[in-house]
Chains A and B, each alone.
Chain A
C-alpha cells in the first residue's frame, strides 16, 4: 500500500524513539535506577509503530508486561514514563504502578498489564463500549504468542466476533513465552489460523517490516471502523534481550547466540531506513538529526525522573478507592 512520506518519517521516528528509550533502560537498569522488572521491547519496534501508526489519539490499546513500545507509539509522555519506571511520584502512576502498568486514558492507553493475556478481554470491552456509544473508534489488544494459549484469548476473540466489535487483536509472536519456545507451547506454527475458529480474518505479517505491519493494521482498522468486526494479526518478530533485564545472559539459557544474531540481521529500523534512503524520503543527515533530537528528549526524561521525589509514605493509602 501507498504510505505518505510524512507517515513514513513518523513511523521511523517512533521506532527510533522506542529503540533509544529501551537502550537507555538497559543502562539505567544495570545501574539500579529502575527497580523491579523491565521487559524490553528491543527488536519488536515495527509492531508497535506500525499498528499505533494507524490509530487516532481517541482509539484504545491494551498493552502487556512488555509495554514500553506500545505506549510510546501511542503517544505516552517520556518524562512521565521514565519517572514511573524510577518509582517517582511524578510518574504516570504516581510511582504506584511501575514499568508494567503505564496507563493514560486521555490518549487511549487502557494500561499495560502484568498478567499475560490479561489485557485481551479489556480490549474487547473497550470495543463493546465503542459499539454501544456508536463512535468510529477502534480498540487494539496486544499480546504475545504464549498468551494465545490462555482462555482469555479465546474468550475475547469469541466475544468480539459474535458481537462484531471494532477490535484488532495483535499477537506479537516473538517465539518464546519467557523461556518456552513456541514449538513447546503450541502445536501450530501460525497463531493467525486461530482466527478461523472465530470467523474473523487472521493474517500473518513480518513483524520486523513496518510496511507489512502498517498495511495489515490499516486494513483491520478500516474494517473495524466500518463496523465489519474484528481481525487477528500475527506479527512474527523476536526480542533481542532476555524476558526481562534480570534474565540470566539475556535469554541465552534457552536461545542460542546464533539465533539472536540471525534475528538482529532482520532489525526493523535499518530495513525501513534503507528503503527511505532509496526513495529519498530521508537523508543520512536527517536521520542523525532525528536521533539527536530523540536522545535529547530521553535525556530530559532521565533528568526529570532523577530530580523527582519518591512518593511520601502517606501516598500508599491514596487511590485505593475513588473518593466521594
Chain B
C-alpha cells in the first residue's frame, strides 16, 4: 500500500473533506501560504482559496470563537492551534462554549467543529511549545478527544472528526508528523471509541497513546527476543474511551502498563489505571504501572529534555518490573 507521513495523511483528510463538502473550512495561524507550522495544510490554499483556508490573526480566542459561531450556523470549521500550549489563550471558547453548548442548550444547537493541535516534547522548543496536556480536554465533558498515533489513524480519525456532529479536540503529536505508514487513498472513517490493538501479546498489556505507541512497539519487539510477549493497545480516542478493549486485553495478560506523554499527576494514564483498578482489579497479577512525563515543565537543554521524555528507557525497566510478578 501507498505510504504517507502523518502530516501528509492529515493533509489528505482535510483536502478530501474540503473537496466533498464546501462547508468545511480551515482557520489558523499560518495555515495559508506557509502551509501550517507542520505543513499539514500545504497546498490547500492554492486549491481552495483564501475564503476557505483562512490565515488568522494571532488571536486564538477570536478565531476559535469564530469557529464556534460558524459551526452553530451551518459550517464545519477546523481550527488549527499551532501548539497545544496556545490553546490556553482560547480556553473559554473551548471549555465554556464549544464543549458546553449542546448540553447547556438542552440539545438545541450543535457545534460540529474540530480543534486541531499537537502535543509532545523533543524539538527543543521549551516549556511553552512542548506540553502534553490533552488530559485537560478529556476532563471537560462535551468534547470528543482524538489522539492518533499512525498516519492511517490520523486520516481516518480526522475524516470522522470533520463529519461528526460533535466538537472534537483533535490532538496530534509533533514528533509523529514525519512518521510514515500505509494510508489508503480513498476516504474512510475510524469510529470514535474504538481502540486498536497495535500488537497482539499474552504476557503484558501496554495501553499507549500518541508517540508512546511507537515507543511501546519498539520495546515489545526488543523484549520479544527474551520471549516476553507484549500486547499494545492504542485507544485512538481518549474520549470516548474503549474500556472494553482495555479490560479485555488486561483480562488476557494480567499485567497493565499505561504509557502517556502527559505529566503523570492527574493525567490520562492515571485515569486509565483507575478505570482498570475499579473494573478489572481481579484480572491483575501485578500492580499497575504508569510511564509518563515527570511533573515538571518541559526543560529546554537537550540532555534534560531527553531525560524528560518518557520513552523506551522508561518503558523497558517498567515492563521488566511487572514481569517479576508471576
Contact = CB atoms under 8 A, between A and B. Distances in A.
A122 B109 CA distance: 13
A159 B63 contact: yes
A62 B157 CA distance: 32
A121 B166 contact: no
B73 A130 contact: yes
Nearest to A89: B106
A121 B65 contact: yes
Contacts of A122: 65-66, 68-69, 72, 97
Interface string A83-119: 0000000011111110001011100001101110010
B303 interface: no
What is the predominant secondary structure among interface residues of chain B facing chain A? mixed
A324 B106 CA distance: 17
B70 interface: yes
A123 interface: yes
A128 interface: yes
A163 B50 CA distance: 11
A155 B73 contact: no
A321 B109 CA distance: 11
A319 B69 contact: no
Nearest to A151: B61
B65 A91 contact: no
A129 B73 contact: yes
B110 A322 contact: yes
B92 A158 contact: no
Contacts of A132: 25, 51-52, 70, 75
Contacts of A156: 62, 65-66
Contacts, number: 150
Contacts of A123: 69
B104 A139 contact: no
Contacts of B75: 128-129, 132-133
Contacts of B61: 121, 151-152, 155
Interface string B130-154: 0000000000011010000000000
Given A118-B92, A132-B51, A158-B59, A125 B65 contact: yes
Contacts of B248: none
Interface string B52-65: 10101101011111
A1 interface: no
A294 B156 CA distance: 54
A52 to B, nearest CB: 17
Interface of B: 25, 51-52, 54, 56-57, 59, 61-75, 77, 92-93, 96-97, 101-110, 141-142, 144, 164-166, 240
Interface in A307-324: 318-322, 324
Given A125-B70, A128-B70, A318 B107 contact: yes
A126 B108 contact: no
Contacts of A120: 65
Contacts of A139: 69
A92 B73 contact: no
Contacts of A319: 102-103, 106-107
A309 B98 CA distance: 29
A162 interface: yes
Contacts of B59: 155, 158-159
Contacts of A152: 61-62, 65, 92
Given A319-B107, A321-B102, A324-B165, A128 B62 contact: no
A268 interface: no
B64 A92 contact: no
Contacts of A129: 69-70, 73-75
A94 B97 contact: no
Nearest to A162: B57
A60 interface: yes
